[in-house]
Structure formats: structure tokens, C-alpha cells
Structure 1
């Protein structure tokens, strides 16, 4: 025997259709608001707090490997004090990097890359930035090398466990130097000391090899990619302990 629905669904009224349409519009509106808010927050974080970069060269191995992704704390040095041993990202002071060739980029690909970088899902192009370790602060006397091949800051020898030196080499720099860091500037060096074009080899540039503190983007504090390299980036405070004043 055929059964009939004892309570047939009433036909949808214009009011029901309008209510459903409003619900869909509210849902879409909320999604758009959340999406825009996420972008605004991401841009704000990138502008004022942190920024992502990739490592383009081997000058900081073994601390950082080529193509590692890092996060930079942009509160250094304006809010958080800068310290000797910090690994910092900075804009080219002038003449440190070779001129970059302009390449044509597909507008769609370029737009996607810009968007992902803006919201922090991609690393910034590092072609006009460098990353090195701070060895000398304003007023410091940096010198290399002492009779046992060590760097000295204000006369205090440094034990630098982060260095990557060629096998059988104990002298921490292939070239000797002695410099006094001027006010508002830094002396920076790569951890891969024999494969780093750092302050030692830029003395003929307009800045004399020193990096203006105003050129700093911030301090690198963590490696985020690849996952097997994930780690905090140490500034080795014990290495620089006691070098803030001239020893007796």
C-alpha cells in the first residue's frame, strides 16, 4: 500500500527565501571581514614586529645554511637593545653587493609572490640585504689576530665556538686588521670566516666597512625552514662577556 507523507512540507514563501539570502550574505560578509582582518594583522606584524628572510649565501655556515628561512625581530635595536654576538639582517650600506640585474617577472606570478610576502607566508627577497654577526659595537676596538690567532675586542680575546674554519686553520681571519667602530655603526663578520665578504673586505666602500645602525632590519632569532634545521639562533653571550670595558 502506498504511503503518503502525513505532514507535507509547506511551499517556501518569499519571506523564507529572503531570510536564506540574508544568511548567505552575512556568511560571505563575515568571511570577507575575517580575511581582511587577517591580512591587516599580518601586515602590521610584518611592518612592526617580525619579518621573514631566506639565506642566499654560505657566509654564515654552519650557523645558517643556504636557503634557510629565518625570522627577524624588528624591535631590535629600537626597542630591544643590540648586543655583540647578535646575528643581524641589514640593508646594503653601499658597495657590499654587486649590482642586481633586473629580470622580467610574469605579472600574475609577481603579484602572488608579493601577496604571500606581504602576509608573511613567503620569505622576503634577500638580494639587497645581508646577514652577519655583530662583533663590534660603537666605540669598540676590534683587532685580529693576536699571537694565537684569535679576534680581540677592546683587548679581550674571543673564544668563538660558532666559527666555521677550513680544516687545519686556527687563525680566525685570513687578513689582519685593527679598527675602532665609529658612533652609530657596527663591525660585522660572517661565521664562515674564510668565505664571507664582511666588514674586513669592504673598507674601500663609502662606509669604510662599517654598517650604520640605521640600516638594520633586526635580529635573526629562529630558523623556521627547512624543519630539520629548526632552531633558535644563539648570540653566545659568554663569548663577549667582559669585553665592554678595556681590561687592566
Structure 2
């Protein structure tokens, strides 16, 4: 007669799931989530905020779904230069003021904090004009003109000429103190300062609304790398 196999007291009974040391499955899930949140919080504390790029308005430099690292040293416009790619609060300019509950704001801010969602009022654009500048479109050969000088915008990733100008509409900005003009790199699809010409504020975004300067793509891994500023005038990058 074969001896009966000793019963393993740690083995789960029936179909009831349990973790090691008898912990229920949901406790392990909560512990795992808590660990991930703490790790992400530590990473963010050392590396700075990450924002999700929700649209193709900044192609080819940034693609939909990119998570970009933002240097908050440029918050409120500190040290901004022509060609910088910035994240800014567009409430009251590109985005109308919205009535939101505290819960709505909290959930949206948490998603943006972790780079898993895009805040509805936050935009990513390139700075083309700063206080005291004039910016217009376009010269005879299709280029933007700033302070009387045509711009060579290599970051557009395409040929700019009279048949394919840097922007298909004609416009001009004179930028007062405390304001800036921002444009997307994909000018045919981007909603930017041009969309607000004739509106209160004239499409000029308050510099104080800048959250930070985009300095790199953090995710996905195959796109990790710096996001240099436009070099059409020899500025940063």
C-alpha cells in the first residue's frame, strides 16, 4: 500500500487564489502598484516632469504618443530663445477657459504628471517670436520673416519655397512685452498663434504660461534623444 503524500499547507484550496504567505491576490496587486508609483515618483523627482504629445502638430520633431522630458528651469519664460520647443498652459488663449470640478482637475493633472494622458489645456509648440519681435508670412520664396530677416527652418523636414511656403496663410505679428508667438512644425494641421489672429490677445501667448522647455524624448525607447531648438538664427541646439 502506497503511503499518502503529505499535504502542503501552503497550497491553495479549491479555486481560491492566494499569494505567498497566504496574502490574497488583490493585496499583491496593490503592493505592486504602490511600488511602481513610488519608483516612478522617485524617477520623476530626479528627472523632471514628462508630458504626452497627443497630436501630430509637431511632426517630424515630435510624434503622437511621444513622452517628452520638460526642463522647468524655463518656467514662466525664463531664458527662452527663438526656436525653443515649449510646453505651456493654453487656457484662455488656444483653449477657452473651462469650468471644471476639483476632481476633474485632479484626475487630469495626475494623468499628465505620469505622462499617461494629455492635459486638455496644455500644448507643445515652437517659439517663433518673443517680446519686441515682428514675425510675418511670407517672403517671395515662401519663408517666414522675423525682424526683416528670412528664416531657414530645417526642423520642418521639408523644402520651403514659393509653391510650398512655411505657412499657407498670410499674416503678421508685432509682439509686445510679456508675449510670444508659437507655431507647430506641421503648419498645415497645427492650431497655434495663427488661429487666434483677430481674437482678444491676437494669438499672442503670455510668456508666463510657459511650463518648461522640451529638451528630450523620454519614451518610446527607440526615439529617446535630445530635442534641439531650431538653429535658424544660431540659437541653442
Is the pair's TM-score, using the shorter chain for normalization, greater than 0.5? yes
The answer to whether the aligner puts 1:147 opposite 2:140 as a matched pair is: yes
Using the TM superposition, give the Cα deviation of residue 148 of structure 1 relative to its aligned residue in structure 2, in angstroms: 0.5
Matches within 5 A, 1:224-235: 224-235=218-229
Judged with a 3 Å threshold, the aligned counterparts in structure 2 of structure 1 residues 56 and 166 are, in CA distance, closer, same or farther, namely farther
Question: Over residues 8-35 of structure 1, what are the superposed CA-to-partner deviations in whole Å (9 max), with x where a residue is unaligned?
Answer: xxxxxxxxxxxxxxxxxxxxxxxxxxx8
Question: Over residues 113-165 of structure 1, what are the superposed CA-to-partner deviations in whole Å (9 max), with x where a residue is unaligned?
Answer: 93x865xx544533110110000010001011011010011011100011155
Matches within 5 A, 1:84-233: 84-97=82-95, 114=110, 121-123=114-116, 125-164=118-157, 169-233=163-227
Cα pair 1:88 1:131 within 8 Å, conserved: yes
2:233 alignment counterpart: 240
Which aligned segments of 4 or more residues in structure 1 are displaced greater than 6 angstroms?
98-103
What is the DSSP-based 3-state SS (H/G/I as helix, E as strand, rest coil) of the residue aligned with 1:45?
Answer: helix
Provide the C-alpha distance between the structure 2 equivalents of 1:102 and 1:215, rounded to a whole number of angstroms. 19
Deviates more, 1:209-218 or 1:76-85: 76-85
Provide the C-alpha distance between the structure 2 equivalents of 1:141 and 1:226, rounded to a whole number of angstroms. 37
Using the TM superposition, give the Cα deviation of residue 241 of structure 1 relative to its aligned residue in structure 2, in angstroms: 3.4
In our comparison, the structure showing a higher alpha carbon Rg is 1
1:68 alignment counterpart: 66
Task: Figure out how many residues of one structure are paired with residues of the other and give that number.
Answer: 194
Provide the C-alpha distance between the structure 2 equivalents of 1:77 and 1:91, rounded to a whole number of angstroms. 11
Judged with a 3 Å threshold, the aligned counterparts in structure 2 of structure 1 residues 133 and 79 are, in CA distance, closer, same or farther, namely closer
Aligned-residue CA RMSD (Å): 3.5
Using the TM superposition, give the Cα deviation of residue 84 of structure 1 relative to its aligned residue in structure 2, in angstroms: 0.4
Cα pair 1:94 1:207 within 8 Å, conserved: no
Provide the C-alpha distance between the structure 1 equivalents of 2:100 and 2:75, rounded to a whole number of angstroms. 32
Using the TM superposition, give the Cα deviation of residue 194 of structure 1 relative to its aligned residue in structure 2, in angstroms: 1.1
Q: What runs of 5+ residues in structure 1 fail to find an aligned partner?
A: 1-34, 243-248
Judged with a 3 Å threshold, the aligned counterparts in structure 2 of structure 1 residues 84 and 117 are, in CA distance, closer, same or farther, namely closer
Judged with a 3 Å threshold, the aligned counterparts in structure 2 of structure 1 residues 199 and 64 are, in CA distance, closer, same or farther, namely same
Matches within 5 A, 1:15-26: none
Cα pair 1:93 1:211 within 8 Å, conserved: no
- TM (normalized to structure 1)? 0.67
Cα pair 2:86 2:125 within 8 Å, conserved: yes
What is the DSSP-based 3-state SS (H/G/I as helix, E as strand, rest coil) of the residue aligned with 1:143?
Answer: strand
Using the TM superposition, give the Cα deviation of residue 204 of structure 1 relative to its aligned residue in structure 2, in angstroms: 3.6
Using the TM superposition, give the Cα deviation of residue 240 of structure 1 relative to its aligned residue in structure 2, in angstroms: 1.8
What is the DSSP-based 3-state SS (H/G/I as helix, E as strand, rest coil) of the residue aligned with 2:56?
Answer: coil
Cα pair 2:83 2:127 within 8 Å, conserved: yes
Judged with a 3 Å threshold, the aligned counterparts in structure 2 of structure 1 residues 67 and 197 are, in CA distance, closer, same or farther, namely same
Judged with a 3 Å threshold, the aligned counterparts in structure 2 of structure 1 residues 155 and 167 are, in CA distance, closer, same or farther, namely closer
